[in-house]
Homo-oligomer: A and B are copies of this chain.
């Protein structure tokens, strides 16, 4: 009891879990998995490593217990062991962001620095109830289907350029909570589009922002994303 060998084992066990967070590709994989289960092949494609390398990373992650697997026929689907892992990742990144000075600049280079043009979750809900906004989910469609912010419509980023007009169709189809007299008079410039993606560290929303603003649309991004929305315990629509 309490001797050096056992101490090493214990701390070694913790370190093995920490190892999951010590490689960028693995953190990227965690990010994708926080949106739902995925196969090795899909993960490899999303993360940009070979299938073998991705598999090796996944073995490390599975051994740590943070990731679990489910076999369905010839496919093996990887998923996060529990929602606690999403929360841990969120805590981890917020601490990293606060303390490691290299994070913020890297984030600005990756997302572009339009911090001014974002609103938080509470603002979004308030504005949504007042009407005249469209909530736009630019994640891949299957992630939208797995759950999204109530009222949001789905236009995946890669289809956004071709399908912008869908935004106005939706506004016409589902009247807001405003009195009748004020409806129907909304011009594209009046309508505010709130864009969101997976989370605060996902570039989809900012890429979408660039596209929409180049078309002179009144667009803003949610300051974080769907992951943080779930962590906050807010309502999710499926």
Contact = CB atoms under 8 A, between A and B. Distances in A.
A69 interface: no
Give the copy number. 2
Nearest to A110: B6
B99 A10 contact: no
Interface stretch (A86-94, A144-152, A188-196): A86-94
B2 A203 contact: yes
A84 B95 contact: yes
B93 A91 contact: no
A153 interface: no
Nearest to A63: B100
A17 interface: yes
A27 B13 CA distance: 11
Nearest to A92: B88
A22 B12 CA distance: 9
B9 A109 contact: yes
A40 B96 CA distance: 23
Interface in A3-20: 4, 6-20
Given A8-B24, A27-B18, A13 B112 contact: no
Given A91-B91, A100-B64, A25 B11 contact: yes
Contacts of A85: 95, 99
A48 B4 CA distance: 9
Chain A interface category by residue count: 35 or more
A174 B10 CA distance: 39
A9 to B, nearest CB: 4
A156 to B, nearest CB: 15
B110 A1 contact: yes
Contact of A2 (B8, B12, B207): B207
Nearest to A3: B110
A1 B102 CA distance: 17
Given A9-B109, A19-B22, A66-B100, 10 more contacts: A1-B111, A6-B110, A7-B110, A7-B203, A11-B24, A16-B100, A21-B22, A66-B99, A81-B99, A88-B92
